[in-house]
Structure 1
Amino acid sequence: MSQDPPRIVIAGAGHAGGSAAAFLRQYGWKGSIVLVGEEPDAPYQRPPLSKAWLKGEATAESLALRPARFYAQQAIEMRLGTRVAAVDRAARQVTLSDGAVLGYDRLILALGARPRSLPLPGARLAGVMALRGAADADALQAALGPGKRLAVIGGGYIGLEVAASARALGAEAVVIERETRVLARVAGHALSAFLEAQHRIRGVGILTGVEVAAIEGDAGAAQSVRLADGRQVPCDTVLVGIGAVPNTEVAQDAGLDCAAGIVVDLAARSSDPAIYAIGDCTQRPLPLYGRSGRLESVPNAIEQAKQAAADICGRAPPPPEVPWFWSDQFDLRLQMAGLAFDVHEAVMRGDGSEPGFTVFHLDAAHRVLAVEAVNAPADFMAGRLLVAKQARVAPEILRDPAQPLRGLTAS
């Protein structure tokens, strides 16, 4: 497409899309920017939805990625309440769900992901919910409170965060997990055991190694979760938190390379040189680990937004970052950095039964691959640097809290 001024269309107004628009202006893009978002709201932070927002400790203003005036001041056109429904790569045009057609010189797909659905009887009963956006959080908040009963299907971070918030609101909560431990796909055994114990202490029921057979109800509303062994978990509300599916359909229909997400390089470029993809919808290189994968996190959304904006604006690429994540549950601050591929040994620093410990995951050569910390921010920051350096550290040094980590991270 050739037009004056050149236009960038960003498909998706979540954390990734909103950040890309801001970085484009920061990096000197003078052309037109159109930000297309399916929700009626300007870009906002999603992580607090399962925590501060549910507990009534956050406002729409505090969740906003940037003040409302920012977009007008930066000449970023907002098309909210609609979405990119189709991409015509030959014509360099997108068609929106409201019928509008927009030309583009560069297109950034920030399509996000959606909650994985539960293919079981009763999944469509009233009271069965998922949590992805603000409207979902509002509906869930209205269903929680003293005397209410919540069943959470899925023991991942979202499920545990919501269970913790439900207890803070006075509701009963039971987490149902198919694997033999919570966080089985995203955390080590020590962190899983610690969190399970902490949830039990605070009154959350935890059922692991169980299969859900159906959600049962009366008059069209959920009343219990039936397990494969016949047990019933009574409830008023069911949260389904069994992972997310990347929104790649538009990209696939346009003929872009897709695998577990839209395939991109370290500049966030797709298989079409005019199209970039960022955030939860992408399958991206993981240079520290010699492979590719899909990351669902705010830091990843921001990193890829920087990559795309830098490439479009002709700037040097940002340095690769260590993947990192966080979760708040009760009074516990969990921080994780790196990815635990090919772990040979997990080294505990501190007492793993109490907050204030760190777990380092090492390969056979004692390289630090990943770190998990609970209420241990200094150790987390040091561990993150060790991961970035792929530092080799003797396990006995990491294990001993009296041994300072700061010197190990010096250049």
Structure 2
Amino acid sequence: MILNIPLAWLQLSRQKSRFLVAVAGIAFIAILIFMQIGFQDALYVSATKLHNNIQGDLFIISTQYKSLTSNQSFSRWRLYQALGFEGVESVSSLYMQFAKLKNPINGLKFPMYVIGFDPVKSIFKIPEVQENFKILQIPNMVLFDRASRQEFGPIAKDFEQGKSVKVEIFGYLAFVGYKVKVGGLFSLGPSFGVDGNLIVSTSTFLAIFPDRPVQNIDIGIIKLKPDANPQQVLANLSAKLPPDVRVVTRQHFITLEKDYWTLRTPIGFMFYLMVLMAFVVGVVVIYQILYSNISTHLAEYATLKAMGFKNKYLLIVVFQQALILGTLGYIPGFAISIGLYDAAKNVTQLPVAMSVEKATLVLVSAISMCLVSGFLSINKLRKIDPADIF
């Protein structure tokens, strides 16, 4: 009958204040991990949102390509060369560059990411762009990203209210702005490198950036014929196009962007470091809790050992305590993190959202922290000798 007594739970709950503090400490660690991986995931999702919304099967980029927000243009002639390969149905070009958009209310200028394409057909999967891209055929008409950050002013709000919205945008090193009219809205959202987006036609893009040569494009988009073998076409293009460009699949394109933010920027490293530090701090905190609990009940453990209970049973009790603390600490941490995710999303406009994968990862991390702490704290229990205690 003794074996059926929930000894681990009784020991933890006997001192309620200490127990609640322990659960709160683990919940805080869980929240820290949730926030770190939440922002890390938002970094990758926001940085690759444009990649996922471009209609194409293969993509041509410069061999100097680092990320979308770094200008690495190449000759548009490479697209025409690709058009001659078997299996290629059509090609499209994409121009991208930062400009400064003038807030119509306070006159301040903020960086805006300008995306230009030939609006003969839509090359974006974004429904609003597919519906309104022909508006861009009118000179100086643009589509404004309604999910852009608030520093650009009430542009989207004014347009939705039926007002005529004109904005002034300044190209690189330009002292005189170029006036454009908002002809529609779309939703793409900011990222860690972009505060807002503007989609324009190629002609409007070149008017905003008059020093930009028309033959220099940033992304080449290749659409394949329905019966084409993507891997075969990819191999042919990679082997025969000049070495100043490379051809990649969508997944490879996305991987390049993620690798850039993970390996080449401080923010990617900091996210991994902070998650690791939170895990280590969690192990230390839980170790102190378990070790203190063992020390407090040392006489009881010695009594059990004198009664014939083996070390294995006593160790199981400690690990049960670790699992109880990890699970109970995770529950409030999870609940609070959902609210913090919503608040962070509203403030930053980043895609910070809870998912099954995040919830599972943090749960496994919390339990792992507790088990590691339990393993570290049982040394004193192994060495206990009832003769020394009594």
Length-normalised TM-score, structure 2:
0.20
Answer 1 or 2: which has greater strand percent: 1
Structure showing greater Rg: 2
